[in-house]
Amino acid sequence: MQSALILGASSGIAQAFGRLLAERGVTLYLVARDPRKLEAVSADLSARGACLAGTEVLDLNLHAEHAAMLERAWAALGPVDLVLVAHGMLGDQAACEADPALAMELMRTNYAATGVLLLHLATRLEAQGRGQLAVLSSVAGERGRRSNYIYGSSKAGLSALLSGLRARLAPAGVQVVTVLPGPVRTAMLAGRPLPPLTVEPELVARQLLRGLERGAHTLWLPPKWRAIMAVIRALPEAIFMKLKF
């Protein structure tokens, strides 16, 4: 791998992943919404020896800006070996239930805006004829739970979109990877009680990189979530409805 585009570069997992790529000498193009966070991330990666082809401040919810941003990224990097999409938000379930406008914002960020971005990326990677497209979805999308079904439904839609894109792009030599992390100690969980089995972003980043290197199409991170979610998916609805998590 020689070049990578990281979208949502200031997220905790993306930062940790960027450090791994910097250590390997991969040329990076970083996109994030918050200019101060992006500057801090780029400074950190530069200090670790990263080769930065460019950085760009952009709110990825502005879907009309996607095509121009990708044009600039491709021009800076040349062929892009890897795209990591780490755009998303957790939201507050109770607030979303009380104000559906907040739920719409969450769904727009996690599914609609990200989906439009992925369609742009698919066209570029298909024309390029190679590359990897890794996208952060969530184990929460595998079954709607009482405590976070709005967030989970947005990630379920994203995972379904990725499944279709994987089938579309495989003949062109493009690998689409659905990444399904469990709880990760990032800014998303700041100020909230940490759920059981919460892990550090550095662990998720290492496992993500290993999964990409072995050509996986779906990554539960850490891998034990694959078995956990298999059990949760298999629970009869009558039992699942009684669970309070």
| CA–CA distances in Å: residue 168 to residues 80, 128, 244 | 19, 14, 38
Q: Does the active-site annotation cover 29?
A: no
Q: Are the beta carbons of 3 and 80 closer than 8 angstroms?
A: yes
- What values do phi and psi take at 200, rounded to 5? -85, 150
Q: Classify residue 204 by burial, with Cβ atoms within 10 Å: 0-12, 13-18, 19+.
A: buried
Give CA separation, 87 vs 7, 118, 168, 176, 191, in Å. Answer: 7, 11, 22, 16, 20
DSSP for 67-122, written as a single string: HHHHHHHHHHHSS-SEEEE-------HHHHHH-HHHHHHHHIIIIIIHHHHHHHHH
Instruction: Say how far apart CA 94 and CA 91 lie, in whole Å.
Output: 9
Both tokens assigned to 135? 């996208």
Distance CA 49, CA 10 (A): 18
| Catalytic option among 29, 111, 149, 151 | 151
- Amino acid found at 231: V
d(CA 9, CA 18): 8
Please list the active-site residues: 151
